[in-house]
Amino acid sequence: MSAPAPSLFTPAAKAMAATLGLKMGRANLDEFAATLEELAKANPNIVAVTSDSRGSGKLAPFGKALPKQLVEVGIAEQNLVGITAGLAACGKKSFAVSPGCFLTARSLEQIKNDVCYSDVPAVLIGISSGVSYGALGTTHHSLHDLAVLRAINNLTILVPADNFETRQAIRFAAQATKPVFVRFGKAAMYNLHQPETTFEVGRAITLREGNDVAFIATGETVVHALLAAGTLAERGVSCRVLSMPTIKPLDKEAILKAGRECRAVVTAEEHMVHGGLGEACAAVLLQGGVGKPFRIVGIPDEETVPGAQADIFRHYGISMEGLSETALNLLP
Amino acid sequence: MARPALSDRELALKAVRLRQQTLTAIYDAGAGHTGGGLSCLDILNVLYNRILNVSPETAGSPARDRYVQSKGHSVEALYAVLADRGFFPEADLKTICHYQSHYVGHPTRHIPGIEMNTGALGHGLPICIGMALAGKMDAAAYRVFTLLGDGELAEGSNWEAAMAAGHYNLDNLTVIIDHNTLQISGHTRDVMSNEPLDEKWRAFGWAVKVVDGHDYAALTEALSQPAETGKPTCVIANTTKGKGVTFMENVAKWHHGVPSDAELKQALAELDVAAAPLKESV
């Protein structure tokens, strides 16, 4: 029997989630697979393309239900993206599904040229991104993907936080006429949104209002920011929490508003601190003339500490406790 | 295609003019890929005048054949052929590589008749596999073609794709290799040897034909239909880099050499001489 993976949430964090009324959902990876299968059953033009990744992409049921809509290319990510682009150029709604680490590094030139520059409506799905593969080591981490993809023209970049955002991101991608990249993890996620929440690409979602600290977070770090806001509220610090499911195009308006209305800004992402959400926010704030105390929480520019995803998150302060401490230290 | 068939001699005469346009375009642009453009020109001439079911009028038709030029650097020859087929005015050739002209030094979809943006090597074949798979899924009759340089075959992505095409029995897919045996640094055999090409492609599940890449009848025969049901076709076209201009032939420096005033004049004159007997007999 192998030891269970350490939890992303400490007992205190779990207690805060309960206080905030958050319910645990399924992994965003599972939500993706279910959504894609549902969409593909209704639209025979949808094709999933895998690089020996149908198991890791949770697409085995998809492959069984819709064998003619799944193309297996073997362990060949360059070919994966080239084929996906060719399918899209001939009218297919093609989804390349592969671990984010390989998809966005091994086949970066195919993403740049075959998909974005050629402007075909292909979808790139980076599964188990960030440090989802934790202890498998740096080969399996994608901490560069947002940085490199932000520097490529003509790509919408989506990083959903929970099951709702994942479902909406995949639905958007399925009808997009331009290239889209979506990345998410494989750990079970709390559901963060109310039923009435609307999801719009290019728009931040305000999860909590507040004026002391603005947490601007993306993907599966959003929950930790929300829990930190709960903890800080108990200490009399009012926090705004913005979920940023769209990294590109970025919701500059929401970032500037948060910067102007709050006393400090903390960003959080499962990505290296270079080139991701944090630096993007810094550029928006600085160019918008907003100079508030500011911290980027993410993975620093060093060889990532060995450990499971939860260990890595805690090590670098991507946790309720870590984000609370960062925010308190930042407040003037 | 309801267009009148061109005889071999008519194609040869057209090729002379296309070579002159290619050279003039490179001269006007002050940049370009001369040797490879001339080596693949007869292949393009046959494709666009005898094989491909494409036309300016049906450029958006889902039923059209797809041609992706993986060796994107030989774009000037492709531009000349597309202009000749009426995809855009020949006057546009004067704008290649100019400020704000979409006629950049590698193919882009901004140009009518061009299917995909290429130029980085080793990209065309994977894309064409996606196109061929889409055709199979839709039970469409279109065929998919790509042109690869022989130096380009060092890119590993070609072999990922070659494996997949064989695996999926893509007999609607044809690869043409412009086998001119030279690349930017010299002979391909010295830079990175890739022979025997025919055996390599056969081993990956392809039906292989080896032809003279300047012989219209042989190219037409090889490209008219898939070589074998259930297998992708690889046509290894043996060509001469710089073909048609004696001082450019088989000289690696003409890979991306731009002719001077005098060199252009000399090249155009040599091609005029080659055209004379063809004109008399058309």
Output the pTM of the full model. Answer: 0.96
Phi, psi of B124 (to 5 degrees): -65, -40
pLDDT at residue A25, rounded to an integer: 97
User: Which of these three, A139, A169, A190, is where a domain ends?
Assistant: A190
Percent of chain B beyond pLDDT 70?
98
Indicate whether A4 belongs to any domain: no
What is the rounded average pLDDT of the residues B189-200?
96
Q: pLDDT tens across A33-89, in order?
A: 999 999 999 999 999 999 999 999 999 999 999 999 999 999 999 999 999 999 999
pLDDT band at B139 (very low <50, low <70, confident <90, very high): very high
pLDDT tens figures, B33-47: 999 999 999 999 999
**Integer CA distances (angstroms), A93 to A165, B2, B246, in order:** 20, 33, 49
Q: Is A73 on the interface with B (CB under 8 A)?
A: yes
Q: Which ipTM value was assigned to this complex?
A: 0.96
Q: Which two tokens mark A112? A: 């740049």
**Among A277, A325, A270, A322, residue whose Cα is nearest residue A9:** A322
- CATH number for the domain that contains residue A70: 3.40.50.970
Rounded mean pLDDT, B120-143: 98
Same domain, A33 and A167: yes
Q: Residue B1 pLDDT more than 80?
A: no
Q: What is the pLDDT of residues A1-26, one digit of tens each?
A: 567 778 999 999 999 999 999 999 99
Interface test with A, best of B102, B121, B127 (most A CBs within 10 A): B127
Q: Are residues A19 and A31 in the same domain?
A: no
For B120, which of A68, A81, A113 is closest by C-beta distance? A113
Q: What is the mean pLDDT of chain B?
A: 96
Chain A residue at shortest CA distance from B125: A82
Q: Are residues A123 and A250 in the same domain?
A: no
How distant is the Cα of B48 from the closest Cα of chain A, in angstroms? 20
Query: With the C-alpha atoms ordered A97, A98, A104, A110, is the resulting torsion angle positive or negative?
Result: negative
Instruction: State the Cα angle at A18 between A318 and A31, rounded to 5°.
Output: 65
Task: Tell me, yes or no, whether A61 and A15 share the same domain.
Answer: no
Across B222-251, average pLDDT: 97
Q: B130 and A91: CB-CB below 8 Å?
A: no
Confidence of residue A332 (pLDDT cuts 50, 70, 90): confident
**Claim to verify: residue A157 and residue A295 sit in the same structural domain:** no
Strand A70-72 relative to strand A239-243: parallel, antiparallel, unpaired? unpaired
Residue identified by tokens 């901490």 is: A143
Cα separation, A92 vs A78, in Å, equals 19
What chain B residue is nearest to A75 in terms of C-alpha separation?
Answer: B160
Which phi and psi (to 5°) does residue A142 adopt?
-120, 95
User: In which domain, by residue range, is A45 found?
Assistant: 26-190
Cβ within 8 Å, pair A86-B117: no
Q: Are A144 and A226 in the same domain?
A: no
pLDDT at A1: 52
Alpha-carbon A72 to chain mean position: 25
A184 and A222 both lie in a single domain: no
Same domain, A84 and A130: yes
Question: What secondary structure does DSSP assign to A232-245, as a single string?
Answer: HHHTT--EEEEE--
Please determine, for residue B282, whether its predicted confidence score (pLDDT) is greater than 70: no
B120, B122, B131 ranked by CB distance to A86: nearest: B131
Average pLDDT, integer, range A232-251: 98
Cβ neighbour number for residue B203 with a 10 Å cutoff: 13
Q: Same structural domain for residues A171 and A301?
A: no
| pLDDT beyond 80 at A184 | yes
pLDDT attached to residue B281:
63
CA pair distance B204, B232, nearest whole angstrom: 10
pLDDT score, position A5: 76
Name the class of domain B8-244+260-281. alpha beta
CA-to-CA distance for B244 and B180, rounded, in angstroms?
13
Residues of A in Cβ contact (< 8 Å) with B102:
none
A101-140 confidence digits (pLDDT tens): 999 999 999 999 999 999 999 999 999 999 999 999 999 9
Instruction: Look at residue A1 and tell me if it is in a domain.
Output: no
The rounded percent of chain B whose pLDDT value lies above 90 is 95
Check residue B38 and give its pLDDT: 97
Contact B126 A78 (CB under 8 A): yes
Contact B232, B170 (CB under 8 A): yes
State how many domains chain A has. Answer: 2
Mutation for B interface: A69, A72, A75, A90, most B CBs within 10 A: A90
Q: What's the mean per-residue pLDDT of chain A?
A: 97
* Span B73-99, average pLDDT: 97
Domain range annotation of chain B: 8-244+260-281
- Both A182 and A236 in a single domain? no
Give the nearest partner residue to A90 out of B125, B134, B164, using CB atoms: B134
pLDDT, greater one: B4 or A34? A34
Q: What is the pLDDT of residues A294-310, one digit of tens each?
A: 999 999 999 999 999 99
Q: How far apart are CA A87 and CA A71, in angstroms?
A: 10
Q: How far apart are CA A59 and CA A65, in angstroms?
A: 10
Per-residue pLDDT, B4: 72
